[in-house]
Structure 1
């Protein structure tokens, strides 16, 4: 009798801690800055590909690639995620065309994404996304 009572007490205790709950965990929504991060990684990779095909562009394009990697690192920190190893573009990120004109078009498109994120972001994130939008616009001008 005492053994059965102890077992029943243990079950009541376990059921109170959620062990037998059937409620699924709520699905975590992706962070609103995830598209900005994905574009930063895609742009950095695109710059690297263009540099590999034309080494004469290295001095002009390497600082822009590095800027996108710095943006990605800061975005990952704000989002609370880790960058993929090698900081490659995640699957699903658009790969810009492999020339300077393609990079410029990608910068302009990515600038719009960052500007929209800035407008929708809370104050704590607006400065970061605004500076990224400005950098992308500047990069597009540098690629003229």
Structure 2
């Protein structure tokens, strides 16, 4: 025991508690985290369009079964793109696909939607970091090729 009445155990215990408190305060548990919350992922619009395109293809096929062999592979490609985008973003796919307002359930409507979605993907590709650019670039190319196939 020292002259001040503190034992070595008390001093070490207090020091350990203080170190633990400093550690906890450093991880933001006390609300002093000054980082703003992250916004939506910039690839989210590309993901949403992939899901909307797949659903649009399904609607056109439902309206005209003779188009199934031609359109189903493109619908499946959009679903594959959506699955990979969801993996990269770190999200799960929604159970219901978004639908475009006033979507035209014709092959011409699909072509128009593909061209618009291709522009979104191309813009996202230009803004994406290198690790994501290849994926988004391939999606933009697929959308452009789908639009040409729908001529």
TM-score scaled by length of structure 1: 0.81
Q: What's 2:49 paired with?
A: 39
What number of residue pairs does the alignment pair up?
A: 137
- In structure 1, runs of 5+ residues without a counterpart are 1-8
Listed one character per residue, the Cα deviations across residues 78-119 of structure 1 (whole Å, up to 9, x for unaligned) are 10001012xx323xx534311111000000000000000111
How far the C-alpha of 1:59 sits from its partner, in A, is 0.4
Q: What's the secondary structure of 1:107's corresponding residue?
A: helix
Q: Which runs of 4+ in 1 moved over 4 A?
A: 12-16, 22-25
- Note the alpha carbon deviations across 1:21-45, whole angstroms, 9 max, x for none: 3768732210010000000000000
Return closer, same or farther for 1:116/1:20 CA change in 2, 3 Å cut-off: closer
Matched-pair contact (CA < 8 Å) for 1:33–1:79: yes
Structure 2 CA distance for aligned equivalents of residues 76 and 34 of structure 1: 8
- 1:1-144 equivalence runs, <5 A: 17=24, 20-21=30-31, 26-85=36-95, 88-90=96-98, 94-95=100-101, 96-144=103-151
RMSD: 2.6
Q: TM-score, normalised by structure 2?
A: 0.77
CA 1:21–1:123: 2 relative to 1, 3 Å? closer
5+ unaligned residues in a row in structure 2: which ranges? 1-13
* Separation in 1, partners of 2:143, 2:35: 38
User: Is 1:14–1:20's contact at 8 Å kept on the other side of the alignment?
Assistant: no
Structure showing greater radius of gyration is: 2
